[in-house]
Amino acid sequence: MERGGPGGRPRVELPAGTLFVGDLHVDVDRPEELEAFELLLLELGRAPAAVFVGDVFEYWIGPSQGETEGGRRAISALRRAAEGGTALHVIPGNRDFLLDAGFERASGARVWPRGFCAPLGAGRELVVVHGDELCTLDVNYLRLRRVLRSRALLWLAPRLPRSLARAIAARLRRASRRALAHKPRAEAEQQEDAARQLARAEGAEVLLCGHAHRFRDERLAGGPRWIVLDAWRHGRDLVRLGAGGELDAFSSGAADSGAAAIL
């Protein structure tokens, strides 16, 4: 790892065959979702590296989450994949931004709170983020995001009793769903100007993210190639890095087959 672009995100070398995975939103309280997650990680074990672009979990309340039965099972599945030789990279999303160094140690997955940059060859750079920071017209959400990720809250959250933390997380999810239902669509959209600005700050020709749950792959006028992955099992939810630095999107096929046939 080395320092990345002018924006200060770290720079990570990714091998050919790396897979980028769209938002999973795994609810660790639901055994059927954990089983699907375990199957996915078995498939990912055939790749040299995997990058989760955010919201791996429906919610993550901090270290105490890893002490629950479902949390332990999810962490164990990640650990097996990591020990099997797959380099795992996790970019926290708006649902699981409390993934921390303790999660890294337990799971074997590297956590990148702000995302990272990666070389694509021929002097080209990729920047990978979750994507919620691109919703710059949603002023209320960005204000809440700053509060939730403030040093004070990040210090306090892991110290809350588990029952209280779970109750707060559930309340925030309900409030988010209500707000999204009444919010003008244009306000909640990821903004092209924000994508251009982020890519320019990192000197990147390609920006890859998730969050929107709606696939796009386009070259922005005066800006980067912008790839947004679909949510898992809902379309083009995977991108593969080729030997020449090409990035190709495709569907896991899980929605149709019931299995994570991705390789």
Percent of the residues in the chain that have a pLDDT greater than 90, as a whole number: 69
| pLDDT tens per residue, range 196-209 | 999 999 999 999 99
3-class DSSP state of 27: coil
Who has greater pLDDT, 47 or 157?
A: 47
Who has greater pLDDT, 25 or 158?
A: 25
Q: How confident is the model at residue 255 (pLDDT cuts 50, 70, 90)?
A: very low
CATH code reported for the domain at 7-133+191-257? 3.60.21.10
Query: CB of 129 within 8 A of CB of 207?
Result: yes
Q: How many helices (H) and strands (E) does the chain have?
A: 9, 13
CA 201, CA 220: separation in Å to the nearest integer? Answer: 15
| pLDDT tens per residue, range 26-36 | 999 999 999 99
Task: Pick the range with the lowest mean pLDDT from 12-21, 125-134, 187-196.
Answer: 187-196
Task: Pick the range with the lowest mean pLDDT from 18-22, 30-34, 40-44, 141-145.
Answer: 141-145
Mean pLDDT over the full length of the chain: 89
Residue ranges per structural domain of the chain = 7-133+191-257
User: For the whole model, what pTM was predicted?
Assistant: 0.89
> Which amino acid, 161?
P
* Mean of pLDDT values over 114-137: 96
Sequence-distant (6+) residues with CB within 8 A of 151 are none
pLDDT at 10: 97
| pLDDT tens per residue, range 162-219 | 777 677 776 766 666 666 655 667 778 999 999 999 999 999 999 999 999 999 999 9
pLDDT at 3: 59
Who has greater pLDDT, 8 or 56?
A: 56
Percent of the residues in the chain that have a pLDDT greater than 70, as a whole number: 87
Sequence-distant (6+) residues with CB within 8 A of 167 are none
